[in-house]
Chains A and B, each alone.
Chain A
C-alpha cells in the first residue's frame, strides 16, 4: 500500500512538472503581454516593469527561476492587481470556492443518488420517468441558464434569496444549486444504470431467496456495488468544482478562484495563470489519487498493491 502510494506520488510530481512546463511555454506564445493596453507605456516604465517581474531575462532563466519559486510555494506577484501576490489571490479565493463546491457536491450527491436509486427500484414506472426527466434537464440546461432562471424566480419574483454576492449562508444557496444541477443529473443517471446492472446479478437473487427484505438488499448489497462508478466520477468532479466555476462566480459575483482561471488569461497575468494552473493540477491529481485509494475501501476486490489492477 505504502509502496503503491509512493509510486503514485512520484507520478503525480512528474505530471505536475509536465503541466508547468507546457503552460509556461504556451502562455508565452500568446501575443501581447501583461502591459499591453490602449495607452502604450513609455519605454522606460516598460523596462522597469520588465525588470521587476524578471521578464527581461532569457526564457530559460525565467523558467528555472519559476520552478525554484514553485518548489517554495511562492507564485510571485500578480501583474493585474498591484500589491497582491498570487498566493494572496489563492488564499482568498480558494476557501470561498471550496465552500461553494462542497455545498454543491453535497447537494449533487444527495439528490443525484436518491433520484438514481428511486429510478432503478421503480424501473419503467412513473418515478423512473420523472427522475430521468429531471436528469435530462439537469444535463442539457447549461449552468449559466440554470443560474439565471434560479435568480429570476427565487430572488426577483419570490424574494426568497438575494440575487447575488457572497455574504451570508442564504447567499450561497442559489449558486450551489446552479452549480450542482449538472453533476446531480449525471450522478442520477450513473446510479440508475449501475443499480439496474447490479440488481440483475445472481447474488441479489440469492439474497432475495435467503429471505432478506428489500431495504436490506438495497442498502447492503445493491447501493454499495452500484456506487463505484459514482465514486470514480467524484474525483475529477470535485477537483473541478472546489476550484470554482468561472460562469457561476461571475453571475453571482462570488470572490472565488474560478474567475482567475479565465480572467488571468485575457489579462496575460502570467504569474496568476501559472499559479492557478499549478494549484488546480495539484488538486485534480490528488483527487484522482484519493479516488483510487477509496476504491480499495469500497470494493475489496480491487487490490491496490497488485499494480496492474489498481491503476
Chain B
C-alpha cells in the first residue's frame, strides 16, 4: 500500500508541474486569440499589424548601450534622434525642428520641436545632454560610445581623462541644444539619426537606472512606436505611440518582433502566413532558397554599405610583397563567387569603399578576374623575391570563421589561385571568437572579414587602416601618405573637396592592396505583397514609421 501511495504522489507531482507550466500559457493564449479575431473580422479595413523576425534577443534596448543591428532595428522604431533618415536616405529634422550650423561646420544649434515622451513628459534639450554624457561615462561601459567622439571632448571623457562637464554640448534652454564638434563633420546630421545619439528621458532614468531592462511604465521612448511587451528570448511587441509628434504618418498599429534564430523556420513561417517579412535587415533568409525565390520573382535585393574582403597579413612572407598581393587579388573571379555561392545579388568589389559612398566604385580600380595582369604581377613578385616558380613560394594559408558560406568562398578562391597562378593554398577554419582573436593578434596569413558602415561616409571604411596597430586593421599595413590624407579630410569643410581627398586615399590603399575586396553586401528579403513603405537605408537600417498594409 505504502509503495502505491508514493507512486501516486510522485505522479501527482509531475502532473502539478505540468499544470503549473500550462497555466502560464493560457493568459497569452487568450490575448493572441483575441488579436487574430480582431484581424479577421473586417476584410475591407486591412489590419495594420506587422509581424517580423529579428533573429535574437537584442543586446540592450538602451540607446546608449546598444551596439548591434538587432537592438538598432528596435530602437529606430521606438526612439527618435535630432534627425531621422528619410525615405530617400537624407537626414531630415526630427526631434529638432530647425538646425543651423556655423560656417566652419563645428557648431550646430538645434531648435527642438514640441515633442513628448510616451509618458507625456516634454522632450527637452536636457534629455540629449543627459543621454550623451551617460553613454560617454566609462562607468556605464557603453561599447559604442566612440560613435560620439565627433563631439568636442567626448573621447577624453570616455577615456576617463576629463570630467563630463567638458563635453561640447549645452542645453541653452529647454528647447535649444548647442553642440560643439572636434572637427568639421559634414555627415554630422546623419550621425544624429544614429541610436547612440538618441535622447533618454532624464527624469525617468534618474529615478530608475534600470529603466531599459523591461517593457513597462518606465520604458519611456519618443519614437513612432512604444514598446508594450518584451518577453525575453521570445518576442517584442510595439504599438503605435499616440504621443508621437508625427503620429499621422504612422499607419501600423502594432508590430510583433519574434526571436527565431533559424533562417529555414523564418522562411517557412513567411510561406505559411505567420510572418509579413522574412530576411534582412530584420532577419535572415536561408542561402539555399535564394535562387528559387529570385527565379519566382519574389526576392527583393538592395545593396548596402558593406564590403566582404580578404585581409592580407602584410608582415608574413610572401604577402609582404605588394606584387604577390596584387597577383592574388587580380586572380579572383568575383562574379563567379557572387553568382554561384552567395546568390544574393551581391556586387563584385574591386574597391574598398561601397558604391553608395563613392559612386565610381561600382566599376572599381581594376578588372575582375584579370588573370593576365595577375600573372604579370606574380612574375614581378617572384623576381623581387628571387624565386623562379610559384611553387617555391612559402605556403599560403587562408583562414575563415566556421560557416558554410565562408567555406565555399574560401574553397573557390583556393581553386582560382591554384588554376590561375599555380599557387597552392591551405585552408584553415576556426570558431568565430577564436578566429577574431587570431586576426587581431596577427596570427594568420590571409583571412576573410566583412565591414559594414555605421553612417554613409567613406571614412567608415578607410579609417580602419589608419594605424598599423589600430584595433581593426589586422593587416599590419600603414602608409604615411594615406594617414596624412585622412587627417586632411578631417579638417576639410567643403564636402566635394573632402570626398576627393578620401578618393585619393582609397587609390593609395588599392594600389598597395592590403586587402582583396570580394563583394559588396546586399540585403535580401521577401515581404507580403500588400506591405508598403518599409524604408530600408543603404546602411542596412530599417524604419517602420511609414509602413502600412494596403
Contacts and interface: CB of A to CB of B under 8 A. Distances in A.
Nearest to A148: B264
Interface string B1-21: 001001100100010011011
B32 A167 contact: yes
A259 B68 CA distance: 20
Interface residues of B, number: 65
Contacts of A30: 433-434
A76 to B, nearest CB: 15
A92 B158 contact: no
Contact of B62 (A36, A81, A82, A92): A82
B419 to A, nearest CB: 32
B357 interface: no
B139 interface: yes
Interface in B260-297: 260-262, 264-265, 268-269, 271-272, 274
Contact of B159 (A39, A44, A259, A268): A44
Nearest to A88: B232
B366 interface: no
Nearest to A164: B265
A44 B160 contact: yes
A237 interface: no
A38 B265 contact: no
B21 A98 contact: yes
Nearest to A290: B10
B218 to A, nearest CB: 12
A83 B261 CA distance: 21
Given A48-B138, A167-B32, A253-B258, A32 B436 contact: yes
Contacts of A194: none
B433 A32 contact: yes
Contacts of A163: 265, 268-269, 272, 274
Contacts of A162: 272, 274
B529 interface: no
Contact of B268 (A80, A155, A167): A155
A103 B259 CA distance: 23
B206 interface: no
Most A-side CB within 10 Å, residue of B3, B24, B232, B260: B260
A266 B431 contact: yes
A259 B29 CA distance: 23
Interface string A73-102: 000000011111000110011011011001
B142 A98 contact: no
A102 B14 contact: yes
A82 B434 contact: no
Contact of A81 (B25, B59, B436, B449): B59
A16 to B, nearest CB: 23
Nearest to B436: A36
Interface string B117-137: 000000000000000000000
B65 interface: yes
Interface in B99-115: none
Given A83-B60, A163-B269, A167-B29, A38 B472 contact: yes
B45 interface: no
Interface string B377-400: 000000000000000000000000
B143 A253 contact: no
B440 to A, nearest CB: 6
A169 interface: yes
Contacts of A37: 436
Given A32-B434, A165-B274, A297-B7, A151 B268 contact: yes
A297 B159 CA distance: 66
Contacts of B234: 165-166, 255
| Centre residue among B213, B268, B271 by max chain A CB count within 10 A | B268
A95 B24 contact: yes
A36 B437 contact: yes
A250 B261 contact: yes
A36 B274 contact: no
A186 interface: no
B146 interface: yes
Interface in B201-257: 210, 212-213, 231-235
Contact of B139 (A41, A48, A159, A250): A48
A164 B269 contact: yes
A169 B32 CA distance: 12
Nearest to B142: A45
A38 B268 contact: no
Given A32-B437, A40-B471, A164-B268, A81 B57 contact: yes
Contacts of B32: 167-168
A251 interface: yes
Contacts of A155: 268, 272
B362 interface: no
A61 to B, nearest CB: 21
A148 B286 CA distance: 14
A156 B268 contact: yes
B166 to A, nearest CB: 16
A167 B32 CA distance: 8
A165 B232 CA distance: 13
B88 interface: no
B195 to A, nearest CB: 14
A247 B160 CA distance: 44
Contacts of B438: 31
Contacts of A31: 433-434, 437-438
B259 A255 contact: yes
A75 B429 CA distance: 33
A252 B451 CA distance: 31
B271 to A, nearest CB: 6
Interface in B338-354: none
Given A82-B59, A102-B14, A92 B7 contact: no
A35 B274 CA distance: 35
Nearest to B30: A168
A125 interface: no
Contacts of A213: none
A42 interface: yes
A19 interface: no
Given A99-B22, A156-B272, A164-B268, 18 more contacts: A32-B434, A38-B472, A40-B472, A49-B141, A81-B60, A83-B212, A84-B213, A84-B232, A98-B21, A151-B265, A156-B268, A165-B235, A165-B260, A169-B22, A253-B260, A255-B259, A267-B433, A297-B7
10 closest A-B pairs by beta carbon, nearest first, are: A40-B471, A253-B260, A32-B433, A99-B21, A82-B60, A255-B233, A255-B234, A83-B213, A168-B29, A32-B437
25 contacts: A30-B434, A31-B437, A32-B436, A38-B472, A42-B146, A44-B158, A45-B158, A52-B141, A81-B60, A83-B62, A83-B213, A89-B232, A89-B233, A96-B21, A98-B21, A99-B21, A102-B21, A103-B18, A156-B271, A163-B269, A164-B262, A165-B258, A167-B29, A169-B22, A253-B258
Interface of A: 30-33, 35-42, 44-45, 48-49, 52, 80-84, 88-89, 92-93, 95-96, 98-99, 102-103, 148, 151-152, 155-156, 159, 162-169, 250-253, 255, 259, 266-268, 294, 297
